[in-house]
Amino acid sequence: MKYKCQVCGYVYNPEVGNPGNGISPGTAFADLPDDWVCPVCGATKDEFKPEV
């Protein structure tokens, strides 16, 4: 499932991960570190909602 930042619209796709920030492809959103932030705007994980 993809998660969308409610602040800027960035979509975290677990199939892609976030390699620029050390997150390997295949990393589920729930498995992201608690201190992970949106790579675009810096929003925290609680600003993300599942994309429908």
CA distance 22 to 29: 14
Domain region containing 34: 3-50
pLDDT of residue 52: 82
Q: Is 7 annotated as a binding-site member? A: no
Q: Is the backbone of residue 38 left (phi > 0), alpha (psi -120 to 50) or beta? A: beta
Q: Is 40 annotated as a binding-site member? A: no
Tally of domains in the chain: 1
Q: Is 41 annotated as a binding-site member? A: yes
Q: 3-class DSSP state for residue 48? A: strand
Which pTM was predicted?
A: 0.92
Q: What is the dihedral of CA 27, 34, 49, 43, to 10 degrees?
A: -110
CATH number, residue 15: 2.20.28.10
Q: Are 50 and 12 in contact (CB under 8 A)?
A: no
pLDDT for 9-22, tens place per residue? 999 999 999 999 99
